[in-house]
Amino acid sequence: MLKALTHLQIWVEDQDEALAFYTDKLGMEVREDFTNPEAGDFRWLSVGVPGQDVSIALLAVPGPPMVDEETGAQIRAVLAKGMAGGLVFSTDDCKADFEELKSRGVEFAQEPNEGWYGIDAGFRDPSGNQARMAQLNP
Amino acid sequence: MTISAAHPARHLLRAKDLADARFRDPLDVPALARAAHVSPAHFSREFKRAFGETPHQYLLTRRLERAAELLRNTDWTVAEICARVGLSSVGSFTTSFGRAYGQSPTAYRSAHPPLVQAWIPTCLVQAHARPQSSTFREDSRARSR
């Protein structure tokens, strides 16, 4: 049977920009970065939170031959409208991380919000992917 | 903050995010247009093209959704909730709320006691709880300003 989730994938507009964002700003580490010249220079790029096995593959919005131009444009539009991503990270101190990440230029869509569950905040990567960090009550 | 090769909607998304983040403040459509770096003359049309509703509709329904949540989960007065979601007129708030939810704020509160909940990412809860926006008379007034 299935053993573990090892990768999930999101589309990004610019892989170099995404790499800088997820490593320099969010503090993740590069897991894989391989360009295959036999596959149209397809670049398999992934990052992950240090200490956790799950990797996030940051794949460029595709075009032909993977998908037709129209489909690529639709993916790009969904990204730009903020309806892609959906990453959720845990944090021990949402407010402190908010201040730190904001100082690094991370674009927050929602400042720390306190509820019965704890505190969470929402941010976006440069492509518009949505992500959250949550400090949940025990 | 730089965005490379940005799709036009990516700039408009900043205005939508600003409405989500700052709905408590006295935001208006020109302020949202500034966040999107789009001229006010084009902003509402471009926003509606991207997201299917005007920025005024989006901001108002965001505020009403937040108001509904506060009615369900606090004992604050209607006037206090109105102010806390960035609206200044209790009368307009009550009218808009009635159109969106089919009952007055106080009737809504009576019919919706707090629920026992499990955590769901806040953005998803807020997005799915936002009322439909197609019947707000305020939009015709906003367009005429």
How does pLDDT run across A28-55, given as a tens digit for each residue?
999 999 999 888 889 999 999 999 999 9
CA proximity to B122, closest of A8, A101, A134: A134
pLDDT of residue B34 exceeding 80: yes
Average pLDDT over residues B24-28: 90
Contact across the interface for A80 and B17, Cβ inside 8 Å: no
pLDDT of residue B7 exceeding 50: yes
Chain B residue with minimum CA distance to A14: B4
Confidence of residue B4 (pLDDT cuts 50, 70, 90): very low
C-alpha Rg value of chain A to the nearest Å: 16
Distance (Å, whole) CA A78 – CA B108: 34
pLDDT of residue B143 exceeding 60: no
pLDDT of residue A116 exceeding 90: no
**Rounded to a whole number, what is the distance in Å from the CA of B103 to chain A's nearest CA?**
26
Average pLDDT over residues B69-91: 95
**Rounded to a whole number, what is the distance in Å from the CA of A110 to chain B's nearest CA?**
5
Q: What is the pLDDT of residue B119?
A: 78
The whole model's pTM is what?
Answer: 0.83
Q: What is the pLDDT of residue B124?
A: 80
Q: What is the pLDDT of residue B130?
A: 87
Mutation pick from B4, B7, B124 vs chain A, by most beta carbons of A within 10 Å, is: B7
Chain B residue with minimum CA distance to A118: B119
Q: Is A27 exposed, middle or buried (0-12, 13-18, 19+ CB in 10 A)?
A: middle
ipTM for this prediction: 0.81
CA proximity to B143, closest of B19, B59, B41, B60: B41
CA proximity to A47, closest of A119, A136, A129: A129
Instruction: Choose the weakest-confidence range: A85-99, B51-65, B107-121.
Output: B107-121
pLDDT of residue A125 exceeding 70: yes
Q: What is the pLDDT of residue B110?
A: 95
Distance (Å, whole) CA B27 – CA B14: 14
pLDDT of residue A96 exceeding 90: yes
CA proximity to B44, closest of B31, B26, B61: B31
CA proximity to A128, closest of A91, A88, A89, A77: A77
DSSP string, A98-121: HHHHHHTT-EEEEEEEEETTEEEE
